[in-house]
Structure 1
Amino acid sequence: MSFKSPFPDVEIPNLSVYDFLFGQVDAADGDRPALIDGASGAVTTYRALIAQINGVAGALAARGLAVGEVAALHSPNVPAFASVFHGILRAGGVATTINALYTAEDIAKQLTDSKAKFLFTVSPLLPQAEAAAAQVGIPAAHVIVLDGADGHPSLQDLLAEGAPAPEVSFDPGTQLAVLPYSSGTTGRPKGVMLTHRNLVANVCQIDRPIGIGADDKLLAVLPFFHIYGMTVLLNAALRKRAALVTMPKFDLVEFLTIVAEQRCTYVFIAPPVAVALAKHPLIDQYDLSSVHSIFSGAAPLDQELGKAVANRLGCRVRQGYGMSEMSPVSHAIPFDRDDIALDSVGPTIANMECKLVDPGTGAEIEQPAEGVSAAGELWCKGPNIMAGYLGNEEATAETLDADGYLHTGDIATVDSEGVVTIVDRMKELIKYKGYQVPPAELEALLLTHPQIADAAVIGVLDEDGEEVPKAFVVRQPGADLDEDAVIAFVAEKVSPHKKVRKVEFIDLVPKSAAGKILRKDLRAAEAAK
């Protein structure tokens, strides 16, 4: 009773990531811009990028990095990130990318768990990187500061050595390429083992639905250290010889300035950026007419919010779904399918097979001949599915079954055309008097209120010990909105069991670097009251 992608299977070359992306770059492509620094406008061509990748690979090999050993990369989005990331892979190493917002303690945990031999960072992040490296025993000579710092080699130092890239040989199907750590929104972060084949497969699988072209200029504001930015930007865009315009962090004015000045055409975002694009008065002061498409991922995008962005900017808006364990994309609304509802995540991508399973009974849910199925946990299978969690056989067995299906932990439905809609995280459903209430549905509804800038919903206990939905709301500047008004707004639009019963106004909704709402932080704060 599984359902497959409506797209024909695509060929997946048996190549390393480096050979797949850069093995055949003709002379004309060599002069194309690969990366553009959003702040300065400095351009790195494909020819220069490949030379830097090989230079980093040579320097790492000369310093003793062996095939299969791990090097950590701790940096915001700067052009040099691409050179180092792909340099590690070119040397046969495994890149573990570290969240640029991490504390020294967080960094040390990832360095320890991944057994990293090297750490690349940038000078603004050096204090916490240096402290973490010292804690785990990585010598100063193996802490490379991209833009230079006393006591550490710089990227320029590595490139100046002129060491040739090593000759390496490995099986792309089993050799690890990257070791991102799952976001930890529901527990301790785990190292996700992704092979070269996993990454190559996902780039091939998303080529048709996402539709990046060689003439596109993509705004690279999604963190490269996150699997979403890593695959669609560092890999898919470079494969198509498009140009990446880098932004180290999201700032609305800088975002709008760069899009307008660089004439960016394709923008990949998470929903918090969509909220700003739909509602912020600054948007109208910038010429964003170059943008033909916006693609949202990492967290659910509400249909009305997506339509508001599309109407305001005069562009296509699409969304997709995935997770680190799937390299990450498994579903996407194709760029040429205006008929697919924007609150869905589109059909399953090529070479994948999925099923829905009732979390209560374990029974498989059939795809209907017409209409929409009942909701169940989404299971996915394909060449982009991870090899497992590093050093954690128990967690791997809980997530990957013997038939190769990844149990996503997300509740979804599928319609007769194969279009999938994510209802919510299985573990985050609120149980009100036995009824399941998806927080994401209420959050999407709250964002349609003109006086609400952002919102999050969790389950809390009421005076009778019953779990009820509580909304945490960020008001728009100057908004005149109280708890009763929020409760009444929701009550008019949902079934009685889905009503918001409590409201708290806050200044900021806690989110991960990828834009996911950190409901566990809200639950922890609630428990501490």
Structure 2
Amino acid sequence: MVVSSPHPDVDIPDVTLYDFLFASLEDQDLDRVAVVDGPSGATTTFGELCAQVDAIAGAAAARGLGVGDVVALHSPNVPAFVSVFHGLLRAGVTVTTVNALASGAEVGKQLVASGATALFTVSALLPQAAEGAEQAGLDRDAVVVLDGAEGYASLRDLLAAGAPAPEVTIDPSTHLAVLPYSSGTTGLPKGVMLTHRNLVANVLQTRPYLPLGREDVVPAVLPFFHIYGMTVLMNFAVLERATLVTLPRFDLPEYLGVIGAHRATVLFVAPPIALAVAKHPLAAEADLSSVRLMMSGAAPFDARLAAAVRQRLPQARVVQGYGMSEMSPVSHVVPVDRDDIDPGSIGLLAANMLAKIVDPATGEEIEPPAEGTSAPGELLCAGPNVMVGYLGDEAATRDTFDADGFLHTGDIATVDADGVFHIVDRLKELIKYKGYQVPPAELEALLLGHPQITDAAVVGVPDEDGEEIPKAFVVAAEGAELTAEEVMEHVAAKVAPYKKVRAVQFTRTIPKSAAGKILRKELRAG
């Protein structure tokens, strides 16, 4: 049986993301601060932001970029990210956001896979960006360094021409706005095709449960290149005319300082940040009295951690949300006005969402209970926020949707009689390390490339703090003298820091099924 959102459907206008966010900008908001650069304190008003977006759209068009083109945006959270992202979309470009921690090889792979013809980056990331661009065959002329670097065009150079924003006609329901990369329920990273309508819908679907307003101040430490930061922080805050304070990385003293100095009201976080706020001695000394809401997402957030956060923030609501890149990302939220819902749950279906729970062994739908809690099964979702599919991968797209068009999440969930969902296990193999996706298949491929390794498998295991980390089980070649440190260094040299293998166990064999599938459950149990 299909479960519907308890919230009435919201109307989703047939407009581009630019028109959705900026067309309704009122005169009274033009001088309000839209974005603050956390480290420097420099401010950008909504009027200035809108002008920058239009100017960047004109600059992109003057460089021949428009409908049909993919441009990569490779940057940490800085104010320019907001204007460049929306300026490119305003020009009809599809933006593929690149993880700021990506290695040069990873940047290159995404550029090639997405078909990107240009790359916007920042000087701090230029070594990786340049390596990736070269790997993808992009000339220097195709690389823009936002804050300037010798031999490259800068954002100032682009804007100096003063080219007008182009007139662009696209279908918001079919035109791709963004191509974030996700591993989905399994396998290597794939381009998630999200339309303008997908992104517009998800902000509106989330809005009834998480109200923001003009007086809210939101520290933006979750990366904008990740769909959570992109939709729930950046786009949501711009729509509601709240103020974003950007932070290029998570540094606890700086984060706490921003909360106090700017009187931050809403904290969108991942569990490691929530844990730091709850447990670190520095947080006990910080002024957090302005915070009215903390929402955690991107990884499991249990009731014990929520209780610890509430002790530190007694005046604030502490809630959890759930989603995935393929859903733009939010499908479930604990509403801020529902004190009766377990904060360790993922809450209720967002507006316009449908879901069902399916027995992964039989494929049979599990009935929602009249009372109590359902049996566990895989969570499947449908709604206007769900992706078009994976770029250039029809097989993976087919495997991700069922016959009725519901998206397989790969997570095992229950639902109770009140429509409250809990995630109880993970069907998918993906490892979540500090909110980042770590695909085992990618690490296994790197391990198998080592001349002294004959077989390998990677699983997620809890460390001493309960954080899930990638652990490699390695079969060394006969006669090899290989240490765990050498194995970890081999992988670390080729991946972003969050993808590092953090534990190694040598074994004689890797358990596999008759079909050759790694039996990860046995590895975790052993």
Q: How many residues align?
A: 459
Aligned match of 1:349: 350
Aligned 8 A contact 2:70 2:94 in 1: yes
Secondary structure of the equivalent of 1:34?
Answer: strand
Aligned match of 1:276: 276
> Deviations for 1:153-179, whole angstroms, at most 9, x for unmatched residues?
111111221100110001100000000
Secondary structure of the equivalent of 1:331?
Answer: strand
Task: Give the Å deviation of 1:66.
Answer: 2.5
Greater Cα offset, 279-288 or 180-189: 180-189
Aligned 8 A contact 2:185 2:428 in 1: no
Task: Give the Å deviation of 1:475.
Answer: 9.7
Aligned 8 A contact 1:68 1:176 in 2: no
Residue type at the aligned position of 2:153: P
Structure 1 CA distance for aligned equivalents of residues 403 and 165 of structure 2: 39
Secondary structure of the equivalent of 1:249?
Answer: coil
Structure 1 CA distance for aligned equivalents of residues 106 and 219 of structure 2: 28
Q: Mark the CA change 1:135 to 1:292 in structure 2 (over 3 Å): closer, same or farther.
A: same
Task: Give the Å deviation of 1:395.
Answer: 0.4
Q: Mark the CA change 1:474 to 1:3 in structure 2 (over 3 Å): closer, same or farther.
A: closer
Structure 2 CA distance for aligned equivalents of residues 427 and 287 of structure 1: 40
Secondary structure of the equivalent of 1:230?
Answer: helix
Structure 2 CA distance for aligned equivalents of residues 475 and 320 of structure 1: 20
Residue type at the aligned position of 1:79: P
Aligned 8 A contact 1:122 1:147 in 2: yes
Tell me the TM-score normalized by structure 1.
0.83
Structure 1 CA distance for aligned equivalents of residues 505 and 336 of structure 2: 41
Task: Give the Å deviation of 1:185.
Answer: 8.6
Aligned 8 A contact 2:216 2:264 in 1: yes
2:182 corresponds to 1:172? no
2:370 corresponds to 1:369? yes
Q: Mark the CA change 1:402 to 1:361 in structure 2 (over 3 Å): closer, same or farther.
A: closer
Aligned 8 A contact 2:221 2:247 in 1: yes
Residue type at the aligned position of 2:463: F
Aligned match of 2:388: 387
2:131 corresponds to 1:131? yes
Aligned match of 1:49: 49
> Deviations for 1:188-233, whole angstroms, at most 9, x for unmatched residues?
1100000000000001100110111121000100000000000011
Structure 1 CA distance for aligned equivalents of residues 178 and 210 of structure 2: 23
Q: Mark the CA change 1:527 to 1:397 in structure 2 (over 3 Å): closer, same or farther.
A: farther
Task: Give the Å deviation of 1:105.
Answer: 0.2
Q: Mark the CA change 1:528 to 1:472 in structure 2 (over 3 Å): closer, same or farther.
A: farther
Residue type at the aligned position of 1:390: L
Structure 1 CA distance for aligned equivalents of residues 157 and 166 of structure 2: 18
Residue type at the aligned position of 2:405: G
2:425 corresponds to 1:424? yes
Structure 2 CA distance for aligned equivalents of residues 74 and 469 of structure 1: 28
Aligned match of 1:29: 29
Residue type at the aligned position of 2:367: E
Residue type at the aligned position of 2:89: L
Secondary structure of the equivalent of 1:295?
Answer: strand
Residue type at the aligned position of 2:327: M
Secondary structure of the equivalent of 1:223?
Answer: coil
Aligned match of 1:159: 159
2:166 corresponds to 1:187? no
Residue type at the aligned position of 1:141: D
Q: Alignment identity in percent? A: 59
Residue type at the aligned position of 2:59: A
Aligned match of 1:84: 84
Task: Give the Å deviation of 1:381.
Answer: 0.5
Task: Give the Å deviation of 1:471.
Answer: 4.2
Task: Give the Å deviation of 1:427.
Answer: 3.1
List gaps (5 residues or longer) in structure 1: 430-438, 445-467, 477-509
Residue type at the aligned position of 2:464: V
Q: Mark the CA change 1:527 to 1:382 in structure 2 (over 3 Å): closer, same or farther.
A: farther
Secondary structure of the equivalent of 2:219?
Answer: strand
Structure 1 CA distance for aligned equivalents of residues 506 and 271 of structure 2: 27
Q: Mark the CA change 1:469 to 1:73 in structure 2 (over 3 Å): closer, same or farther.
A: closer
Aligned match of 2:518: none
Task: Give the Å deviation of 1:108.
Answer: 0.1
Task: Give the Å deviation of 1:187.
Answer: 2.7
Task: Give the Å deviation of 1:307.
Answer: 1.2
Aligned match of 1:473: 464
Secondary structure of the equivalent of 2:411?
Answer: strand
Task: Give the Å deviation of 1:517.
Answer: 8.7
List gaps (5 residues or longer) in structure 2: 435-458, 468-490, 509-526
Structure 2 CA distance for aligned equivalents of residues 132 and 517 of structure 1: 19
Aligned 8 A contact 2:348 2:419 in 1: yes
Secondary structure of the equivalent of 2:135?
Answer: helix
Aligned 8 A contact 2:320 2:343 in 1: yes
Aligned 8 A contact 2:369 2:417 in 1: yes
Residue type at the aligned position of 2:229: G
Greater Cα offset, 177-186 or 29-38: 177-186
Task: Give the Å deviation of 1:151.
Answer: 0.8
